[in-house]
Structure 1
Amino acid sequence: MTSRKYVKAAYLPLESHHQAFHPPVLTLSETLKQSVDYECNILIYCTPEELNSLQTGAWTLKHTSAESAVMNWHKTQHRKGHTILTARCTEKEPKHLLHECFQQAGSASSFQIEPRAKGMSYLNAEFIPAKLAVQFGQRLGWPTTGFYYYFVEHKLYQECQLTGEDRWSFYFTRSDATTLTDQLISARHFSNLLLPYRIEGQRVGGQYVLYRKEKLTQKEFSQISEQWLKRNATAIDLSSVMNSRIQARPIRQSRSHTGMTQKPPASYRVQMNPQTRQRESWPDIAEKHGLSAKQLLALNPDYNDNPLRLQIGDTLLVSSWEHQTQPQKADLPAPVTHFEPGKAYPFGDVWGTYRQRFIMPWLLHIQESSRILANTPIINAIQVQHPEPT
């Protein structure tokens, strides 16, 4: 603010007038020029085409006193096929990278990162999408009831409530490191987690998973610590998760248990009735083949407009196409049968072909799926010994 003294016309007394300082207003083009000086990069270990199917969530650079929130991310493909998300910003200052399961879900995980100069291709954060399974015997399966608890740095990161009704998808609740609640983030179904792998070059530790049939009690929740996790949960082997994603997998041949073949329809040539010396009637032909005249006409719709134009020698269909089921084949289990809790295995190595959907009433067989790529990591959350998990 400045202060000037001057004499007005008509020789009025000398006065002091203050003139307010108004900063220059930046034009839109000037603002855009500033916004490209720095950038933040997120690497997600999946292809750009997988982002939506894997439900990798939404990202925001939280607003600061110097810069508004940044929510626009440019998607490119890494040289190894993975996805890079890039956000441009105006300030080189520490920022909070917020991750939500969908935009404005109201429940976000936060990571401290700092932008680098544009074009450096520096990776501020790396994440791996993965799915969770349960081991019973020599097979992994999808549980349909219960809860998954995912811990990062020895604190509750996400609570996943399985949806039930023979489905292995789950809801995210609003439970976190400080609160255990039944409230859902939304009614959306999810089927995978996004594991933080590295933040600013440092591997994220203290990652555990816990599968339970029942929800944690408030007493159990209050006891969560590093030692409690070591006794009750399963430590996630991040190296095996990463290897599952980046190693090339051989293509497996699928085999269907039930093949369908089609039996062609039967036909009949219209003959002359020897008694009347006229062509056979619709009711006579239908009776020969166990049909009503109406059913026979339905098999031959070309005569609907005028059934009387049927002539001797015409060919009629007297049956429809029939589907025949081939005999069922024996189960074809997954090629990998040795599993360890906490380790991850590529989906291509754990699916099998089974005549039954269920290993037991609450656990589905992992079968081939066109929606899951062969190198998607499947983490063994726990090995259960009894039909009902504890």
Structure 2
Amino acid sequence: MSYIHNRPAKYVPAGYQPLEPVPRSSPMPVKTLSETQQQTAEFECNIQIYCTADELSSLQTGFWSLKRTQNEKTVINWQHAQTSHGLTTLTALCVEQEEKKLLHERFQYAGFAKEFDIHPQPKGRGHINAVFLPVKLAVQQEDMLGWPTTGYFYYFVDHKLYQEFKLTGEDRWSFYLTGSDANTLTDELASEHHSSSLLLPFKIEGKTMTGQFILYRKQKLSRDEFSKLSQSWLEEHATPLDLKSIIASRTQAFMARDITTHHACSDQKSAYYKVKMDPDSRQRESWPEIAQKHGLSAKQLLDLNPAYNDNPLRLQIGDTLCVSAPRSSSVHKRQDIPSPLSEFETGKAYPFGNVWGTFRQRYIMPGLLHIQPDSKVPLRAPIVNAGLLSKV
């Protein structure tokens, strides 16, 4: 404990008595910063996101904070936990049980945050304050989905413009976030960074966020069109989002794929193998180990299973591999193998694992890429059909 006195002692040159006695007051204790006790955080706010903890980064779910109040500073620390159903819960601790502003930023410190009113609850109660759904956006051309590389996506909540995204072009299907919202139409970008995922608010304090639409346009909305945005305009021109379909897509079974027409597996004697756990290492078998069992090189085995070309490390215990040995007489020129799905509904979502196909050409048509295997996209990521390209 440190102390201070009310007034300093008064001195004269050495060898003399003080001119007057110096009264001493009772010492006043001063608490140092290290001695200041922190208040106990007895409340919490919980966010639930429909993806696994490992998918948070690849689905670019953004950054969260609780806005500063008169009683409590900004809260930026969140604990991560994964539920038994493969969902992620983010938890922030609070000292005060007061209404909080939950802030979501797609890009940290970009200055374009969305606000949601939430109410902290006592720790351990398990109350979920907000629920969000990460998705990726595609458009339909005839009987397949594709990634658009040019144009704009418009996302509406409560029948009002929530966010505008400008596709980056240059053979990429990612997009920039602009500063447009329900009150403003602007070309200003929120950040020079770009992403390929959209985070949908689903429930805030138990209330479902309704009036959600998505609109794909090859050209930016004009100011005249922007001034006419309304519920009736959206119902005529935009695609209503089926939120239940988006949730259900996370648990859809992966469909069987027809690989009998691809490369050496066109041989009628094609064989398949289920990946096992190595009893010594307790890890999955490696590509060389599996290949050796079937008289193949690791490269030949990978060529027979093109779904893993982008990231062979994605192989897991229980996956099924084609292991037919290639023969010179049966090796054919690579063929297009579309996704096992051929019927799509606008506004609905489908897991990426049921949407990708393998194609010789990158493009379905100018400005629209084939959806091919991509290790950066989780297999269970919901791919939303934003609309028919023929109606754009």
TM-score, normalised relative to structure 1: 0.72
User: Are 1:174 and 2:179 matched, yes or no?
Assistant: yes
User: Are 1:89 and 2:94 matched, yes or no?
Assistant: yes
Deviations 1:301-345 (A, max 9, x none): xxxxxxxxxxxxxxxxxxxxxxxxx64232111111111111111
Q: 2:70 aligns with which of 60, 65, 68?
A: 65
| Distance in 2 (alpha carbons) for counterparts of 1:156 and 1:66 | 33
| Distance in 2 (alpha carbons) for counterparts of 1:146 and 1:116 | 43
DSSP 3-state at the match of 2:354: helix
| Distance in 1 (alpha carbons) for counterparts of 2:32 and 2:162 | 43
| Distance in 2 (alpha carbons) for counterparts of 1:28 and 1:246 | 52
DSSP 3-state at the match of 1:335: coil
CA RMSD of aligned residues (A): 2.4
Q: 1:139 aligns with which of 126, 139, 144?
A: 144
| Distance in 1 (alpha carbons) for counterparts of 2:261 and 2:109 | 42
Contact kept in structure 2, 1:209 and 1:381, CA below 8 Å: yes
| Distance in 2 (alpha carbons) for counterparts of 1:256 and 1:71 | 52
Structure 2 partner of 1:214: 219
User: Are 1:244 and 2:252 matched, yes or no?
Assistant: no
Residue identity matched to 2:169: G
Residue identity matched to 1:194: L
Deviations 1:206-243 (A, max 9, x none): 10000000001111111111111111111000010000
Contact kept in structure 2, 1:249 and 1:375, CA below 8 Å: no
Deviations 1:60-84 (A, max 9, x none): 1111111111111111112222111
DSSP 3-state at the match of 2:51: coil
Structure 2 partner of 1:113: 118
Residue identity matched to 1:370: S
Gap change, CA 1:199 and 1:28, over 3 Å in 2:
farther
User: Are 1:127 and 2:132 matched, yes or no?
Assistant: yes
| Distance in 1 (alpha carbons) for counterparts of 2:176 and 2:77 | 26
Gap change, CA 1:162 and 1:101, over 3 Å in 2:
same
User: Are 1:197 and 2:202 matched, yes or no?
Assistant: yes
Q: 2:346 aligns with which of 341, 344, 357?
A: 341
Gap change, CA 1:28 and 1:211, over 3 Å in 2:
farther
* Runs of 4+ in structure 1 over 4 Å off: 22-29, 250-259
Deviations 1:37-95 (A, max 9, x none): 00000011111111111110001111111111111111111222211110001111111
Contact kept in structure 2, 1:257 and 1:353, CA below 8 Å: no
Residue identity matched to 2:228: Q
Matches within 5 A, 1:1-390: 30-31=37-38, 33-34=39-40, 36-249=41-254, 327-385=332-390, 390=392
Contact kept in structure 2, 1:128 and 1:197, CA below 8 Å: yes
Gap change, CA 1:118 and 1:248, over 3 Å in 2:
farther
Residue identity matched to 1:63: R
DSSP 3-state at the match of 2:37: helix
Deviation at 1:360, TM superposition (A): 0.3
| Distance in 1 (alpha carbons) for counterparts of 2:252 and 2:166 | 31
Structure 1 partner of 2:317: none
Gap change, CA 1:249 and 1:257, over 3 Å in 2:
closer
Contact kept in structure 2, 1:154 and 1:229, CA below 8 Å: yes
Residue identity matched to 2:137: L
TM-score, normalised relative to structure 2: 0.72
| Distance in 1 (alpha carbons) for counterparts of 2:31 and 2:141 | 68
Structure 1: stretches of 5+ with no match in the other structure: 1-21, 260-325
Deviation at 1:249, TM superposition (A): 3.3
Contact kept in structure 2, 1:252 and 1:348, CA below 8 Å: no
- Corresponding residue pairs, total: 299
Residue identity matched to 1:201: G
Deviation at 1:248, TM superposition (A): 4.4
DSSP 3-state at the match of 2:167: strand
Residue identity matched to 1:38: F
Contact kept in structure 2, 1:257 and 1:354, CA below 8 Å: no
Computing the radius of gyration from Cα coordinates, the structure with the larger value is 1
DSSP 3-state at the match of 2:80: strand
Deviations 1:15-39 (A, max 9, x none): xxxxxxx9999867732x42x2000
Residue identity matched to 1:202: K
Deviation at 1:384, TM superposition (A): 2.1
Contact kept in structure 1, 2:355 and 2:371, CA below 8 Å: yes
Q: Hey, which of these two has a bigger chunk of strand by percent?
A: 1
Deviation at 1:178, TM superposition (A): 1.0
Gap change, CA 1:376 and 1:39, over 3 Å in 2:
same
